[in-house]
Amino acid sequence: MSHCSSTLHSRLLQLQSRFTWDLTEEDLDLENLSTRLQDHIDLQLGQRGAVALSYSFLAYVRYLQDRKEEAVALLNQSEEKTRECFTEDSERRLIVTYGDLAWLKYQTGDYTQSQIYCKRVDDILAKYPTGSSTVLHPEVYGEKGWTYLKFRKSYYPKAIDCFRKALELQPEDSEWNAGCAIALYRTEPRVQETLKEDEESPAFKQLRRALQINPDDGVLLSMLALKLVAYNKHQEAEGLVEKALKIEPDHPHVMRYVGKYLRIQGENEQSIDLLKRALERSKKSAFIHHQLAMCYKKKKTDEQTKKPFDKQNKEAKLWRYMCMKHLDEAVKIKSGFVLAIADLALLYGEEKNLSKAEELFKLGSQKLLETEKDICQVFHLRYAEFHHYHTKQEAEAIAHYTEGLKLTPKKWEWKQCAKKLKQIAERRLSLDENDDEAYGLLALVAKAEGNRKTAAEFYEKALNCVEKDEYLSALMELRMELLG
């Protein structure tokens, strides 16, 4: 590396750019991300300036795909769109765009153009100083926040931090408030057990705050409606859904969230109609395919409930086929969609295609490190059910029920794991009252449920059957807890 290029590289490392934000591409589905960003551009989704951001982010994806010329063209389009949207206020919005262009030109060996873009960034920073070398412009925090939010789930906390920093500088800005609300919504569990009655979670509060500033944002309205349903505030939720559909009836994100709302409320046919419409607008949406699959799964379950002894139930088979078709599409579009993978695998288990089911479960297992705990819990429950009911490998079922019991306590899936472990243990004890492993399972569940005294009693019974270090260690630990 020449002295000139070395000096330039040092300058580039100081720029605010996607090239300096530690965006790790390992295990990232670039094709899915590319499709989503192209959808945002084609459908003109988001608030003012959102399309320009999508162009910039898509340019970075093209760079990762080794399509550098396309990346430069997209960044030029981003600059053009930014100037159209913000006119005389566009300069601070171009700090990241110019930073990305400087990096791209450097990567292609065009050091002169790279230096020109560095100079443009320097000129903007000199014209609009922040007063501190550690404080960024709110526009930079905002673009960084949107990038983290769209890149991968593990970056959601970083997105929240960026939007909050932008809001410290511009508390009334609708874009930063919306971004923060969406990021919080995606990171929060469906219902937070620790909240007191009528207490609102951070996402709740931020959604309300964002809607105070921009009351006609259909996406935020539909998100808040789903939050309200989770807390049994149905009347307010219904009003928000009606408003969202009135304001933005053709917005695919509004349709998919409202479709989910209708499905949860039992309006399955309405949900299917709405989600089909949304899919026409956004054909490559894994989320919409998954929601449609869940609607068909409900139709399958309802049909099986009506005719529980009809093994050749044609209607149930049809709905299973439709469910599997949409789940398969969801997984093709988004290879890391663990929830869709687990649901699809279990349906293959129902069809006795055990090898395909196992293949999918193995694929899902590889993705768990990048997956939030709630989804991991669902995955382990599905995997356990597969072994419990289809392969009859009880040890494997117990292992996955136990993993599910370790995650997100008191959720429905958690309760199912506890229930199934109890059933297995009680059945085994009915066959052999000296089954130490059965007592160990009952102890495990009792401890998870907070019944430490009962758990200790079960471990004592297990030790009466056979002496094992794991039982003795668990018992001693429980006795210390009971004493202290």
Instruction: Note the pLDDT tens digit of each residue in 405-427.
Output: 999 887 899 999 999 999 999 99
What pLDDT is stored for residue 190 in this prediction?
A: 59
Compute the average pLDDT of residues 167-175: 97
pLDDT tens for each residue of 177-188:
999 999 999 998
**240 versus 231: which is more confidently predicted?**
240
CB neighbourhood size of 132 (10 A): 7
With respect to residue 243, please indicate whether it lies within any of the assigned structural domains. no
What is the total count of domains within the chain?
A: 1
Q: Stretch 42-46: mean pLDDT, rounded?
A: 87
C-alpha dist (Å) from residue 226 to 195, 212, 231, 241, 399: 17, 18, 9, 9, 33
The percent of residues in the chain predicted with pLDDT above 90, rounded, is: 83
- Residue 63 near residue 71 (C-beta atoms within 8 A): yes
Over residues 391-407, mean pLDDT: 96
Convert the pLDDT of each residue in 205-222 to its tens digit: 999 999 999 999 999 999
pLDDT at 192: 55
pLDDT of residue 197: 58
pLDDT grade for 234, boundaries at 50, 70 and 90 = very high
Q: Are 102 and 117 in contact (CB under 8 A)?
A: yes
For the entire predicted model, the pTM comes to 0.85
**Cβ-based neighbours of 459, under 8 Å, separated by 6 or more:** 439, 440, 443, 471, 474, 475, 478
Nearest to 402 by CA among 418, 386, 423, 388: 418
What is the mean pLDDT of the segment spanning 430-436?
96
CATH number at residue 84: 1.25.40.10
Q: What is the 3-state secondary structure (H, E, C) of 36-78?
A: HHHHHHHCCCCCCCHHHHHHHHHHHHHHHCCCHHHHHHHHHHH
What's the pLDDT score for residue 312?
82
Average the pLDDT over 33-37 and give the result.
92
Q: pLDDT digits over 296-314, tens only? A: 999 999 999 998 877 788 9
CA 244 – CA 452 distance, rounded (Å): 48
Task: Using a pLDDT cut of 70, give the percent of the chain over it.
Answer: 97
pLDDT at position 122: 96
pLDDT in tens, 354-385: 999 999 999 999 999 878 888 999 999 999 99
Task: Quote the pLDDT of residue 3.
Answer: 52
C-alpha 426/C-alpha 441 separation (Å) is 10
In-domain check, residue 99: yes
pLDDT tens profile 452-477: 999 999 999 999 999 999 999 999 99
pLDDT, residue 191, reads 53
Tell me the C-alpha to C-alpha distance, in Å, between residue 13 and each of 99, 145, 433.
10, 19, 68
Angle at 464 between CA 463 and CA 465, to 5 degrees: 85
Distance CA 130, CA 110 (A): 30
* Secondary structure (3-state) at 455: helix
**Does the residue 100 lie in any domain?**
yes
Please give the mean pLDDT across all residues of the chain.
93
* 3-class secondary structure, 258: helix
Backbone angles phi, psi at 124, to 5 degrees: -65, -45
Judge whether 314 lies within some domain: no
115-166 pLDDT, tens digit per residue, is 999 999 999 999 999 988 899 999 999 999 999 999 988 899 999 999 999 9
The residue range of the domain holding 54 is 1-129
Helix H or strand E encompassing 419: helix 412-431
Per residue in 76-101, pLDDT (tens digit) is 999 999 999 999 889 999 999 999 99
Q: Is residue 30, in this structure, part of any structural domain at all?
A: yes
- 75 in a structural domain: yes
Domain for residue 405, yes or no? no
Q: CA nearest 54: which of 82, 28, 89, 87?
A: 82
What pLDDT does 195 receive? Answer: 55
What value does the mean pLDDT take over residues 245-257?
A: 93
| Nearest alpha carbon to residue 53 among 21, 26, 85 | 85
- Tell me if 385 is assigned to some domain: no
Dist CA 452 CA 468 (whole Å): 19
Whole-angstrom Cα distance, residue 34 to residue 55?
A: 10
Q: Does residue 54 contact residue 41 with C-beta atoms inside 8 Å?
A: yes
Q: Find out whether 166 and 178 touch, Cβ atoms under 8 Å.
A: no
Choose between 480 and 25: higher pLDDT. Answer: 480
**At residue 437, does pLDDT exceed 90?**
yes
